[in-house]
Each structure stands twice: as C-alpha cells, then as structure tokens.
Amino acid sequence: MTMAKNLRTGCSNKGKRTRLMGTGRGRTRVESSLSATLVKRKDLPFWMDMYKDAEMQHQLYAVPMDSAQALSDYLHREKKAFTVWHQDRRIGGFFLSAVAPFIATFGIAVHRDFRGRGYGRSLMALVESTALQEGFRTLRGDVYSDNAASIALLEKCGFRHFIWMEKNIM
C-alpha cells in the first residue's frame, strides 16, 4: 500500500532532499518517497534489529523481544503496525492504536542507520495520512520528556504539548 504525503500538516520533506546511503558510489541524493505496508512475518527480522538499539530501548515502552513471534504478537495486539519503505528498502515503522473514538496513539521509529536524514518527517506525514484513512481525527504521541529528537520532530509537524490533570475523588 503506497500512501501520499499529507501536505496539509506541513509534515513533509517538500522542498527538501533526503539522502539515501549506500549505492557503492557514495551517497546518493534522492527525493524522499516513503510507503507503508502492514507488518508481515518477513518484516520481523528488520523490526527485531530496529528494536535492538539503546535509543529505542530507552525511548519506547518495553517491548517483548524474546522471539520474533513475541514481537509479532505485540505489534498486532490492539494496534495496526506498518513497515515503512524507501523504495525497496525498509527504513522504519510505525503503529496506530485507537484510544478513544477518533483518537489514535502512535509510535514511530526510524532504524538507527537512517536517522537524521529527514525520514522522520516523511514518516510522520505517512502516519497522518494513514490515520486519516483509518478514520482518526486526532493523533496523540506518548513521548518521554528527554526525547529531544521526537519532541523537535513532532513540534515541527504541528503537535502541541498536552498534560494530564488528575484528582482523587474518593
């Protein structure tokens, strides 16, 4: 499934160029054009490798990594998880999970080998267009306050900070 960028959000690399590593002739500069497919069994080695990273372990909720099956079960439980591709190369992933009518929480990841090249912005555009197609109207990111990369990315994509207010009523 290939999805268009949601230009309305401002969260795209329109006007920018994204670098793609490794053609054997050094870095090749190409326009970023990402697509997403629902996570399948053959994607699991990539997801396992992506999660085996200190930044991922630090910034994401604890994910069962005992086996590919355990990870697969997690990625398919109460959420839709997508592998993200640049052309024929997997570069990251995301998931959407309904938390209330029309509201989805999401998680995103760019594989460590591809960070800092603009993929995150393009990936967020893909998250937004996918969420719209799924019928959601609001996106909520759970982000730790020390996740500078994610906070900067989401702010540039138009997200506002949000706090919980609680009261004990008994």
Ligand X SMILES: CC(C)(COP(=O)(O)OP(=O)(O)OC[C@H]1O[C@@H](n2cnc3c(N)ncnc32)[C@H](O)[C@@H]1OP(=O)(O)O)[C@@H](O)C(=O)NCCC(=O)NCCS
Is 105 a binder of ligand X (CB under 6 A)? no
Rounded to 5 degrees, what are φ and ψ at 110? -110, 130
CB 131 within 8 A of CB 96: yes
To the nearest whole angstrom, how small is the minimum distance from the Cβ of residue 169 to ligand X? Answer: 31
Is 140 a binder of ligand X (CB under 6 A)? no
Is 79 a binder of ligand X (CB under 6 A)? no
Q: Which is nearer to ligand X, 35 or 147 (CB)?
A: 147
CB 86 within 8 A of CB 126: no
Using CA atoms, how far apart are residues 101 and 103, in angstroms rounded to an integer?
6
Q: Which of 56, 65, 98, 103 binds ligand X (CB under 6 A)?
A: 56
Q: Which is nearer to ligand X, 72 or 119 (CB)?
A: 119
Q: Which helix (H) or strand (E) covers residue 44, if one does? A: helix 44-51
Q: Which is nearer to ligand X, 90 or 117 (CB)?
A: 117
